[in-house]
Amino acid sequence: MPSAAKKWLLKILSSRLAGDDFVWLTLDAPPDWQSRPGQFVNIRCCEPCADELSPLSLDDRPDAPWPRTRGLEIAERSTLVRRPVSICDLRTHPDGGREIVLLVRIVGPGSRILSAKRPGDTLDCLGPIGNAFNLDAPGRRAWLIGGGCGIAPLVGLGRALVARGREVTLFYGGRDSGKIPLSLPPGLGPTGTQAVPVTGIPELGGAPLVIATEDGSLGVKGLVTDALQAYAAQTGWDDVALFGCGPDRMMSAVATLVALHDLPSCQVSMENFMGCAIGVCLSCATKVRADNTAGFVTKFVCQDGPIFEARDVIFEQKWEGCKP
Amino acid sequence: MKPALDVQVGKIRLRNPVMTASGTAGYGPELAAFFDLAELGAFVTKAVTRQPRAGNETPRLVETRAGLLNAIGLANVGLDAFLAEKLPWLRDRNVPVIVNVAGTTVAEYVEVAAALDAAPGVAGIELNISCPNVKQGGLEFGRSEPGLREVVSAVRAAVRRATLIVKLTPNVTDIVPLARAAVESGAEALTLINTLSGMAINATKRRAILANVSGGLSGPAIKPVALKMVYDVYRNVARQARIPIIGVGGIQYASDAVEFLLAGATAVQIGTASFVDPAAAPAVVRGLEQYLAANSFARAADLTGALES
C-alpha cells in the first residue's frame, strides 16, 4: 500500500528533559500538516545531516589536509536508518499556530542525538505514517494503558476521545517514579492496592491518570495491569473500550484481560524494528491471527499498523530490550 | 551544455545510470509516493520466486555501525501475483523494469525467468544467485563455478527478449572467476555486489540478534569492498568482454556513485540509502549531473573506468 507520508523539515520549538531518561520535543507544524492519533514520524538522527555537508564539494576543499579522512559516513555522526517516534499530540495554540508534540525515551544513539537537539534546529521527518486509532470503537468509557514511551500516542488519543464525549482514564506503569515523564502534582505517594486517579497533569490536558510502579513508590504497587484490575474492581468492566501502547509483554497481558472480560475492543499500538517505515524493507513483520492453514498472516507494523486489535495479534515479545 | 546521462546496459537504454537495488524498493508504488519513477534509469524489483514466500521469523533486521544487517528471507508475492498484480502497474511508469529472480532449483529459475521474459513490460531479468538468507539454492549457485554456469546457461536458453543480468555475491574468495563464468554463460551485464554475510550478537542476552542468526550486511560499511570488486571485475573481465557492470553497495550520495563509475561500473543501484531517504536515487541522478558538468565530462558513460593511474 503506498504511503501517504511526505518528507518534512520541521523546526524544533522546544526541548525539555523529563523523568530519568525522557525528552519532550515540540515541532512547528506546517499549515498543511495532517495527522491523527496513533500515527508516527520516522526521524533522521544525525548531527549534522550529511546533506548539509554537500557531498560533492566535501572532497574538493583546497585547505583539506592530505591524506584526508573522507567519506560522509565519517564526517557525520548519525544513525544509518531513521527512528520511528509516535506522534504524541497535535496542539493548536490560541494564536492559531500548531505544534507537533513528541515524547522520546533516551535509550540508544538515535534518541540521544534527538535529545541533544535545540530549539531552532530542524528535524528531517517522514510522516505522518501508519493507520490511526479508531475513535469510534464502542464503549462510553475509554481506558488508555501505557508503559514507558507508550504513553506518547495516548496523550493525543485521550484528548480526541474526550472531545467525542468519552470518559477517559489513563493508566501508566513504570519501574519507579523516575520512569514517569509527567509533571505530577506534589504530594503523591503510594496507594497500595487502591487505584486512585490523579488529575491536573498538564501534559495530559487534565485527563485522570492511574499510576502503577513496580517498586510501589508511587500509585498502585505492581504492573499497569494490576492498576487496571484494581480500577475495574472499583468501577466494573462495563461499557469499556481499551487502548494500549507499551512493551509486547504489557500488551500481551492486556490482551489476556480483554479476552477474560470479553471486552469488545482493545486497540494496541505495536512496536518493531523498522528499516524504512514505507513498506519496502519488510523488517517489521508481525503475525496476525488468520483462518488459514498457517493460522496467521504476516502484517507490517509500518503500513498495516501500528494500530492492531489486540485479539488479532500473536505476541512474540522478541524485541524487548532493543535500543533504538 | 548539459552532460548526457544515458547509458547502455545489455539491450536496455537507460536515461541515466541510477537504478533501485532489489529488495529496497518493493514493487514500485511505495517509492512512487516520493518521486516519479521515470526519474530513474531503471527500476529493479524485490526478488520474485515461483511460489509466494512469507520470509523469515523476526527479528529480520538490525542496524550495525554504518550498516544494516538483514535476513528478510526473500519474502515476496510469488510469480503469479507479481504478473497479475504488480507488473501491470509498474510497466506503465515510463521506466525500464528489471525483475530480480530467485529460486532454489535450476528448473525454478528457468520457469520464472521464461515467464517474465514472455511478459510485456519486463526489460531485464536480474538473476539473484547471491541471497545469503535462504536455506537452499540461491547462494549455492552463486558460490561455485559449475553451479553458476549451470543456472546461467539454462536461464540464458530460456530468455530471448529481456536483458539477462547476473547479480553476484561477494562472499567468495575471488569474485573474478565467477564473473568470468557468468559472462561466458551468457550474462549481458553483471550486478555486484549483493550483501556481505555477517552477524550481530546481543551480549546482554548472549544471543544472536537476528532470528536467522546471520544476515546480509548492506549500507556505507560495505562500500569499499564493493568498489574493489567492481574494480577487479572491470579490469579482469568486463572491460575486455564489453559487459557492463552495475555497481551496488553502500551508495548514499552522488559522490559514491561517481566512485563506482570510475572503478568500472556503467550503472549503479541505490539500496539501503532508499530506507534513509526514499528519494535518494533521484538525488544521486541530480548530483551526478552536477559532477559531470563541473568536471567537463560530456557523457556519464565517459566516467566508466576513468580512474587515473
Residue A63: what pLDDT? Answer: 52
Question: Is B29 an interface residue toward A (CB < 8 Å)?
Answer: yes
Q: In this complex, do B59 and A318 lie within 8 Å of one another by their Cβ atoms?
A: yes
Confidence of residue B149 (pLDDT cuts 50, 70, 90): very high
Q: Which three cell numbers stand for residue B37?
A: 519513477
Q: In this complex, do B275 and A280 lie within 8 Å of one another by their Cβ atoms?
A: yes
In degrees, rounded to 5, the angle at the alpha carbon of residue B30 between the alpha carbons of residues B268 and B300 is: 20
Q: Report the 3 state secondary structure along B146-209.
A: HHHHHHHHHHHHHCCCCEEEEECCCCCCCHHHHHHHHHHCCCCEEEECCCEEEECEECCCCEEC
Residue A321: what pLDDT? Answer: 45
- Name all domains of chain A by residue range, CATH numbers in brackets: 6-129 (2.40.30.10), 141-271+306-314 (3.40.50.80)
Confidence of residue A203 (pLDDT cuts 50, 70, 90): confident
Q: How far is CA B274 from the centre of its chain?
A: 13
Q: Report the 3 state secondary structure along B234-260.
A: HHHHHHHHCCCEEEECCCCCHHHHHHH
Q: How far apart are CA B215 and CA B196, in angstroms?
A: 8
Peptide bond into A67 cis (omega under 30): yes
Domain definitions of chain B by residue range: 7-55+73-198+218-303
Confidence of residue B47 (pLDDT cuts 50, 70, 90): very high
Q: How far apart are CA B154 and CA B169, in angstroms?
A: 19
In degrees, rounded to 5, the angle at the alpha carbon of residue B268 between the alpha carbons of residues B266 and B272 is: 170
Q: In this complex, do B59 and A58 lie within 8 Å of one another by their Cβ atoms?
A: no
DSSP code at position B138: T
Residue B131: what pLDDT? Answer: 67
Q: Which residue of B has its CA nearest to A77?
A: B66
Considering only the beta carbons, identify the residue of A7, A281, A321 that sits closest to B275. A281
Question: Is B84 an interface residue toward A (CB < 8 Å)?
Answer: no
Q: What percentage of chain B exceeds 70 in pLDDT?
A: 97
Residue B133's DSSP bridge partners are none
Chain segment B186-206, per-residue pLDDT in tens: 999 999 999 999 999 999 889
Chain segment A20-78, per-residue pLDDT in tens: 899 999 999 999 999 999 999 999 998 766 555 555 554 444 454 443 444 555 556 78
Q: Which three cell numbers stand for residue A105?
A: 525515551
Residue A68: what pLDDT? Answer: 43
Q: How far apart are CA A45 and CA A123, in angstroms?
A: 8
Residues A85-121: b if buried by 16+ CB within 10 A, e if exposed: bbbbbbbeeeeeeebbbbbbbbbebbbbbbbebeeee
CB atoms within 10 A of CB A172: 29
Confidence of residue B135 (pLDDT cuts 50, 70, 90): low
Q: What is the ipTM of this complex?
A: 0.92
A-chain CB neighbours of B46 within 8 Å are 280
Tell me the average pLDDT across B127-151. 80
Q: Please name the amino acid found at residue B142.
A: G
Q: In this complex, do A2 and B29 lie within 8 Å of one another by their Cβ atoms?
A: yes
Q: Which three cell numbers stand for residue B96?
A: 525500464
A-chain CB neighbours of B26 within 8 Å are 279-280
Residue A47: what pLDDT? Answer: 77
Q: What percentage of chain A exceeds 90 in pLDDT?
A: 70
Q: Please name the amino acid found at residue A152.
A: A
Of residues A4 and A167, more confidently modeled = A167
Please tell me whether residue A307 adopts helix, strand or coil conformation. Answer: strand
Peptide bond into A306 cis (omega under 30): yes
Chain segment B250-266, per-residue pLDDT in tens: 999 898 999 999 999 99
Residue A323: what pLDDT? Answer: 44
Quote the minimal CA–CA distance from B71 to chain A in Å.
9
Question: Is B205 an interface residue toward A (CB < 8 Å)?
Answer: yes
Q: In this complex, do B68 and A81 lie within 8 Å of one another by their Cβ atoms?
A: yes
Residue A178: what pLDDT? Answer: 82
Interface of A with B in 294-323 (CB under 8 A): 294, 298, 316, 318-319, 321-322
Question: Is B85 an interface residue toward A (CB < 8 Å)?
Answer: no
Considering only the beta carbons, identify the residue of B62, B277, B290 that sits closest to A273. B62
For A83, the enclosing helix (H) or strand (E) is strand A83-92
Q: In this complex, do B290 and A279 lie within 8 Å of one another by their Cβ atoms?
A: no
Considering only the beta carbons, identify the residue of A50, A273, A279 that sits closest to B59. A273
In terms of Cα–Cα distance, which of A140, A204, A135 is closest to A172?
A204
Mean of pLDDT over chain A? 88
Cβ atoms of A111 and A105 within 8 Å: the answer is yes
**HSE-CB of B195 using CA atoms within 13 angstroms:** 27
In terms of Cα–Cα distance, which of B247, B191, B256, B181 is closest to B47?
B191
DSSP code at position B4: B
- CATH code reported for the domain at B7-55+73-198+218-303: 3.20.20.70
Question: Is A59 an interface residue toward B (CB < 8 Å)?
Answer: yes
Q: In this complex, do B253 and A79 lie within 8 Å of one another by their Cβ atoms?
A: no
B-chain CB neighbours of A275 within 8 Å are 61, 68, 70, 272, 275
Peptide bond into A2 cis (omega under 30): no
Chain segment A84-99, per-residue pLDDT in tens: 999 999 999 888 899 9
Q: Which residue of B has its CA nearest to A282?
A: B72
**HSE-CB of B304 using CA atoms within 13 angstroms:** 24
Chain segment B162-191, per-residue pLDDT in tens: 999 999 999 999 999 999 999 999 999 999
Q: Catalogue the E-assigned strands of A240-284.
A: 240-245, 266-269
In terms of Cα–Cα distance, which of A283, A274, A270 is closest to A316?
A270
Residue A177: what pLDDT? Answer: 84
Chain segment B15-27, per-residue pLDDT in tens: 999 999 999 999 9
Mean of pLDDT over chain B? 95
Question: Is A126 an interface residue toward B (CB < 8 Å)?
Answer: yes
In terms of Cα–Cα distance, which of A38, A236, A40, A224 is closest to A145?
A224
Quote the minimal CA–CA distance from B149 to chain A in Å.
31
Cβ atoms of B104 and B134 within 8 Å: the answer is yes
Chain segment A258-267, per-residue pLDDT in tens: 999 999 999 9
Residue B77 has pLDDT above 70, yes or no: yes
Q: How far apart are CA B151 and CA B105, in angstroms?
A: 8
Chain segment B102-123, per-residue pLDDT in tens: 999 999 999 999 999 999 999 9
Quote the minimal CA–CA distance from A49 to chain B in Å.
11
Please tell me whether residue B71 adopts helix, strand or coil conformation. Answer: coil
Q: Can you say whether residue B94 is alpha, beta or left, with left for phi > 0 and alpha for psi between -120 and 50 degrees?
A: left
Q: In this complex, do A73 and B220 lie within 8 Å of one another by their Cβ atoms?
A: yes
Of residues B151 and A65, more confidently modeled = B151
